[in-house]
Structure 1
C-alpha cells in the first residue's frame, strides 16, 4: 500500500502531492462537521415536535420541562422561546404591549437560530471549493504531462518508441483520475451536509412558528 502511494506520487509529480494534501484537509473537515452535526443532533426532532404539540394543547409547563432532556439544536431554541413566552405570560401587560414584545422575541429567536445554522454551515464552502478545484488541478497535471510527453516525442524524432509515448500519456492521465477521486466523495459529503441543513432550517421554522402562534396562555393576567 505504501509502495503504491509512493509510486503514485512519483509518477504524478507535484500535482498529485497537492491533491493528496487537499484530500487529507477535506477529510479532516468532513470528520469535524460530522461530529458537529452529531453533537447538535441535527435532524432529530421527535421530542421537540412532541413538546410543541403539548405546548399548543395548553400543557406549557410540561412541554418546557420535557425539553430540558433534549440536547439538540432545535430543542435548545424551542425551549428558549417557550421560557421567554412563559415569562411574558406572568407579566401584567396589555394585549398591544405583549404583541410587540412577543414579536421582538420572535425576531431574537430567529436571529439566534440563523446564527446557529450559520455555524453549522461553516467550512462547507471550503469543501465545495475542493470539489471544483480538484478536477481542475488534475486536468492541469494532465496537460503538463502531455506537454512533456510530446516534447519527448519531438526530441526522439523518427526513432520514437510508441510504448514510451503510451506510457507517458497514461502517466499524464493519472492526475485527472486523482483529481476526480478527490472531488467525487467530497461532493457527496457536501450534498449530504447541505441537505441536512436545509431540512433543519425548515424544521426550525415550523417548530418555532408552532410555539409563537399558539396564542397567549389562558392564565395570563389582564392589564
Structure 2
C-alpha cells in the first residue's frame, strides 16, 4: 500500500486527504440524518398529550425544542400560537430553515470533493506524462526504463485514486441531498398539522 502511495507522486497526497475528509463527512451525516434523530416517533404524541392536558408551559416547550430538529420546529410554533396563525407560521418557517441548514452541514464540502478529485487525478496524470516524456530527453538518455516506469505508475495511480474518491463521494452527496429533501417534507407536514390543530382547523 505504501509503495502505491509513493508511486502516485505529489498529487496522491491531496487525493488521500480528500478521501479521509469525505469518509468522515459520510459517516457523520449517516449518523446525523437518522430518522429517529430528526423525527422521533414519540414526540408528536407527547406534544398532543401536553396540549390536551394544558401543560404546554415555557419549560415543556423548551424541552421539546431541545428534543430534536422536529422538536425545534414544533416548539417555534407552540411558543407563538397565541400571536395568530400568520406569526406562528413565520416562526415555524424560520425554525425550519435553520433545521434544514443544519441537516445540510458539510454537504457542500462533500460535493466539492466529488468535483475536484477527478481533476486532481487528471493533474497527477499530466505530471506523470511529463515525467514519461522527460524519460526520452537527453538528460535521462533515450527511453530510460526507470523514469518511464515511474511516470506510467504515477499516471495510473493518481487517475484511479481520483476516481475512487470522486465516485462514492458523488453517490453519497446525491443520497444526502435526497435525504434532506425527504426529511424536510416530513417536517413540513408535521408543522402544517400543528398549525391546523392549534387553530381548530382539524383534529389531532
Q: Quick check: TM above 0.5?
A: yes
CA contact (8 A) 1:51 1:63 kept: no
Change over 3 Å in CA distance of 1:174–1:9 after alignment to 2: same
Selected match of 1:37 from 23, 33, 41: 33
Q: TM-score, normalised by structure 2?
A: 0.77
Q: Could you list the runs of 5+ residues in structure 2 that have no partner in the other structure?
A: none
Matched, 1:111 2:94: yes
Farther off after superposition, 181-190 or 67-76: 67-76
Task: Determine if the alignment matches structure 1 residue 143 to structure 2 residue 134.
Answer: no
Superposition deviation, residue 192 in structure 1: 2.2
CA distance in 2, matches of 1:166, 1:13: 12
Please give the secondary structure, in 1, of the residue aligned with 2:173: helix
Q: Is it true that 1:102 corresponds to 2:102 in the alignment?
A: no
Describe the shift of the 1:112–1:80 C-alpha distance in structure 2 as closer, same or farther (beyond 3 A). Answer: closer
Give a deviation string over 1:22-53, Cα, whole Å, max 9, x none: 211222233333343349713x464456678x
1:131 counterpart = 2:114: yes
Q: How many residues align?
A: 195
Q: Normalized against structure 1, the TM-score is what?
A: 0.71
Q: 1:27 aligns with which of 23, 26, 29?
A: 23
Residue 78 (structure 1) aligned to one of 69, 74, 77: 74
CA RMSD between the two structures: 3.5
Question: Whose Rg is larger?
Answer: 1
